[in-house]
Structure 1
Amino acid sequence: MSYQIVILAAGMGSRLGRALPKPLTELGDGRSIMQQQRDNIRAAFGSDARITTVVGYRAETIVEAFPDGNYVYNERYDQTNTSKSLLRALQATGKKGVLWMNGDVVFDPRVLGRALALIDEDRSFVTVNTAKVSDEEVKYTLSTDGHIDQLSKTVVGGIGEAVGINYISRDDKRALVRQLARVDDQDYFERGLELAIAEDGVRVLPLDISDLYAVEVDFAEDLERANEFV
């Protein structure tokens, strides 16, 4: 079985204040953020993983670092958000289900091992952390049957945070593509997923990884926290 993996790495990452794209930021163990992601992907899926990276800001530096990759270019990286980067990636990956992640997430290799069963069952999911609920992060609520209901930074009464590693099944992919095409340029991909849930009946499970580390590196203090784990 082959697996389609997408890394969203088109953004400028200006909040971290570095010249290179954020995924090329060096971690304490000498690897870049993207290298640890690729290592984790290969550890979980082996040679069956087909990795597609969405690039934009200083795209050539990422391509030079990983010349063996497959790339999709978001030429409007400075005018759009992750919704449009994910849209381009999903359109380029055929009909199969896709696992995708933000290009700035440093995470425990066991996250993907835990996700493997749901991927093999082709069930859409969002990885979540219920240990904390920060105002600035993407939060979620659940429906009465235990599936994701609301999913955004503005959720009131969120029961946890979305980690930034997600999967859309083959059956649900078309609805998500349609909603990502519809949302505003500055929307995060979570808005498209939220609309697919509300309007298309897409059912998305929460995959709890609260006991494992996953750090989205936006600021210098996030990088310091990530380096405590790697």
Structure 2
Amino acid sequence: MSTQIVILAAGMGSRLGRSLPKPLTELSDGRTIMQQQFDNIRHAFGKDAHVSIVVGYKLEHIIEAFPDASFVYNEQYDQTNTSKSLMRALRASKDGGVLWMNGDVVFDPEALVRAKAMVDAGQSFVSVNTAKVSDEEVKYTVDAEGFIDQLSKTVTGGLGEAVGINYVSRADKAALVRQLSKVGDQDYFERGIELAIEQDKLRFEPVDISDLYAVEVDFAEDLERANLFV
């Protein structure tokens, strides 16, 4: 079975102040953020990887730009957060695990090469950066065995930041979908992971990509920083 990959791109991305959906923001090399992601996916997983995009805000622009992808519609894109977009995508997926990423992350192609080893092993994971721990970012801690314990913006004593590239295995997917359905509309998908760890004893491994670049583009200064790498 080909690898199932989801890009979350339903949000309005208003903080960047662009007229198009944020994933269609052009980088300095002429590609859009999402095109850079597609290139990274093909580099790591080949042409057979199946990519689904969760769309909402100005969806027609994304559909036009990536006609070969599949699409999942979050009709409540202006009322919900990434937890509900991911829930819809996982429900629409076929049997097997799902790799997903936020549609506004510009990242090193090697990040998915590193991820592929975990995907092939069927191990759920969260990609992390231990080089910095910012208050406004999603942070994490680990348990005694080294698996993710806490995962949120309010974590105290975080070991690093989640970078927005994650995988749920076939065995873990149903539990994660159930928890995503229970969290609040404004929760990030990380809350669903946290509850699945706490209540269903799922084990997500932190995959350290601190030596690689990964920039979540929320503001103009983030875009400037991302352009230093591409």
Q: Same fold (TM over 0.5)?
A: yes
2-side partners of 1:172 and 1:77: how far apart?
26
The residue number in structure 1 matching 2:212 is 212
Matched, 1:68 2:68: yes
Matched, 1:4 2:18: no
1-side partners of 2:66 and 2:128: how far apart?
29
CA RMSD of aligned residues (A): 0.5
1-side partners of 2:48 and 2:126: how far apart?
22
C-alpha displacement at 1:67, in angstroms? 1.1
Aligned residues: 230
The amino acid that maps onto 1:60 is E
C-alpha displacement at 1:180, in angstroms? 0.2
State how 1:122-133 maps to structure 2 within 5 Å. Answer: 122-133=122-133
Matched, 1:146 2:175: no
What's the CA shift string for 1:71-102, capped at 9, x where partnerless? Answer: 00000000000000000000010221000000
Contact 1:128–1:209, Cα closer than 8 Å, also in 2: yes
State how 1:1-230 maps to structure 2 within 5 Å. Answer: 1-230=1-230
Structure 1 segments of 4+ aligned residues over 4 angstroms from their partners:
none
Secondary structure of the equivalent of 2:15?
Answer: helix
C-alpha displacement at 1:47, in angstroms? 1.9
1-side partners of 2:119 and 2:43: how far apart?
15
What's the CA shift string for 1:102-139, capped at 9, x where partnerless? Answer: 00000000000011111001100000000000000000
Task: Give TM-score scaled by structure 1 length.
Answer: 0.99
Task: Give TM-score scaled by structure 2 length.
Answer: 0.99
2-side partners of 1:27 and 1:87: how far apart?
29
Identity %: 75
1-side partners of 2:171 and 2:128: how far apart?
22
The amino acid that maps onto 1:70 is S
Unaligned runs of 5+ in 1: none
The amino acid that maps onto 1:10 is A
What's the CA shift string for 1:156-180, capped at 9, x where partnerless? Answer: 1101000000000000000000000
Unaligned runs of 5+ in 2: none
Secondary structure of the equivalent of 2:47?
Answer: helix
The amino acid that maps onto 2:90 is L
What's the CA shift string for 1:30-66, capped at 9, x where partnerless? Answer: 0000000000001111122000000000000000111
Secondary structure of the equivalent of 1:47?
Answer: coil
Secondary structure of the equivalent of 2:89?
Answer: helix
The amino acid that maps onto 1:29 is D
